[in-house]
Amino acid sequence: MVIQKQTKIVHPGGFDGGVVRVPGDKSISHRTALLAGISSGTSEIRGFLQAEDCLNTLKAMESFGARSWIDDEGVLSIQGTGGKMIEPVGPLDVGNSGTGMRLLAGLCAGSPIHVTLTGDESLQSRPMRRIKEPLELMGAKVDLTPQGTAPMTIQGGQLRGIEYCLPTASAQVKSCCILAGLYAEGRTTVLEPIPTRDHTERMLRAVGAPIRVEGQNISVDGYGPKGPKFLARPYVVPGDFSSAAYWLAAGAAVPGVSVRAEGVGLNLRRTALLDVLRRMGARVEIERTSAPTDPEVYGNVTVYGAELKGTEIGGAEIPNLIDELPLVAVLGALAQGRTVIRDASELRVKESDRVAVMVENLAGMGVTVAEQPDGMVIEGPTKVSPTKSIRSYGDHRVAMSMSILAIFADQPVTIANVACVDTSYPEFWEQLSQLGVKVE
Ligand code: S3P
């Protein structure tokens, strides 16, 4: 058999737990690249995630006139454009990242420039009408394919503030509107149906932007077409909770094992997985180390493994663990009883259709799982036994989540097409080995 370079074989057992430090938060890294990129002066960023998605956003900001460099200690410096964005030459390819594309689109819409944003095959299949609609209401011109996807061409400038009720709970769309609102005349108010991650709001507050949050209404007073006058400042990016989640989940499923993630983001809009782990029977300890003045909450989390039991996940919890749902499905397969994921149709428009892809892969590992339009129902516990190799469909979270299930299998599991892991967590395989699992 020919094993391709982009294939990993994960051997069962060996997960010892321990202490982990994960790389920087992806969502926050994207936003620092954007905000530092439009500020005046040079910002220093510690903990910036040097993974493909965020580096593509950084490259895009350089096309708009910012400059950046990374020193030997991994500290990123970004010399900003001072608010103005220059028109890039040719289309900008932001790779795999929906966050990169949707947030950059918000910035582009504010400036009198003509920009084409494109991405890889996965990103070119994802819905973009959700940002076209509000950006056009503000006065930008946004062209998409007839399917409502990228490549997306934006003619920006001359925006006016709007009041916009988000049709879907999406932090990416919310942030796109807020960033465009910075360049508008008047006030932009976004109403979100369910609270989603609020990194943009926190960072804008930290740089002194006129942003107000009242319940689920977020308002920003626009600076007009000249754009905001933010000053360079230092940023510290905490570890990515969504990356730590793999180790915390694995630890939760092994009685007697504990996993401690240090220096990790603990924003409540990101950490609903911890509530799920508790409901499933694991013990969770949280120690906050951030100062009350830090824009983001971070600290250390320890999870103690247990015999897990099934649980139900839905409603307002969904946006707060949206990226962890493939992992929750894996835990469902290991837990005693039924695990139900509902209200999660957004999963179908992520880097892959994560409902269909996870159902296919779980079934291939012997899991009893039923696909639902808005989620899935999993019956556990499963005798995890692969009947075929895992297919990631180029989706990093599928590849990593299924690697965690592989630890509990009765034989080595082949996971194909794993290069996608580099979009968010290039150190994943190394950390998996450090925690005791054999990976080839
Ligand atoms: C993100 C928001 C979420 C999440 C994505 C990152 C962000 O997407 O799935 O990985 O950085 O704003 P939606 O807000 O579209 O659900």
Query: Count of domains in the chain?
Result: 2
Q: Which atom of ligand 1 is nearest to the CA of 30?
A: 11
In a domain, 440, yes or no: no
Does residue 62 share a domain with residue 18? Answer: no
Q: 194 and 140 in one domain?
A: yes
pLDDT, position 84: 83
Ligand 1 centre from 169 Cα, in Å?
10
Let me know if residue 258 belongs to a domain.
yes
Q: Which atom of ligand 1 approaches the CA of 170 most closely?
A: 14
Nearest CA to ligand 1 atom 13: 170
The answer to whether residue 137 is domain-embedded is yes
171 Cα–ligand 1 center, Å:
6
Exposure on the CB side of residue 161, measured as CA atoms within 13 A? 17
CA distance 229 to 285: 41
pLDDT at 5 (0 to 100): 60
163 and 106 part of one domain = yes
Atom of ligand 1 nearest to the CA of 175: 12
Q: Are residues 381 and 270 in the same domain?
A: yes
323 is catalytic: yes
Q: Which of 236, 263, 289 is the last residue of a domain?
A: 236
Tokens of 353: 């259709």
Q: In this predicted structure, what is the pLDDT of residue 18?
A: 97
Q: What is the pLDDT of residue 83?
A: 83
Q: Is residue 1 part of a domain?
A: no
| pLDDT tens digits along 406-433 | 999 999 999 999 999 999 999 999 999 9
Distances (CA, A) of 17 to 210, 254, 281, 287, 432: 44, 9, 17, 18, 10
Predicted pLDDT at 26: 98
Q: Does some domain include residue 285?
A: yes
State how far the Cα of 420 lies from the Cα of 403, in Å rounded to an integer.
13
CATH number at residue 330: 3.65.10.10
Residues 409 and 297 in one domain: yes
Mutate to test the pocket of ligand 1, among 34, 218, 322 (most ligand atoms within 8 A of CB): 322
- Residues in the chain, how many? 440
- Active-site residue among 93, 120, 198, 323? 323
Q: Is the same domain home to 131 and 231?
A: yes
Q: Is 353 part of any domain?
A: yes
| 231, 242: one domain | no
Quick one: 281 and 208 in the same domain?
A: no
Domain final position from 191, 210, 236: 236
- Average pLDDT over the chain reads 97
Mutating to test ligand 1, I would choose from 53, 54, 101, 172 the residue with most ligand atoms within 8 A of its C-beta, which is 172
My answer on whether 11 and 33 are in the same domain is no
Q: Which residue's CA lies nearest to atom 9 of ligand 1?
A: 323
> Ligand 1 pocket by C-beta < 6 Å: which residues?
27, 99, 170-172, 175, 196-197, 322-323, 346
Residues 12 and 100 in one domain: no
Q: How many CA atoms lie within 13 A of 396 on its CB side?
A: 23
> Is residue 439 in some structural domain?
no
Q: Classify 388 as helix, strand or coil.
A: coil
How far CA 430 is from CA of 103, 213, 257, in Å, comes to 31, 40, 20
168 and 20 in a common domain: no
Regions of the chain where pLDDT drops below 70: 1-5
Q: Which of 202, 236, 270 is the last residue of a domain?
A: 236
| Residues in Cβ contact with 277 at an 8 Å cutoff, skipping those fewer than 6 apart | 248, 249, 252, 284, 303, 331
Which residues constitute the domain of residue 408?
7-24+238-434
Predicted local confidence at residue 283, as pLDDT: 98
Statement to judge: residues 172 and 275 lie in one domain: no
120 assigned to some structural domain: yes
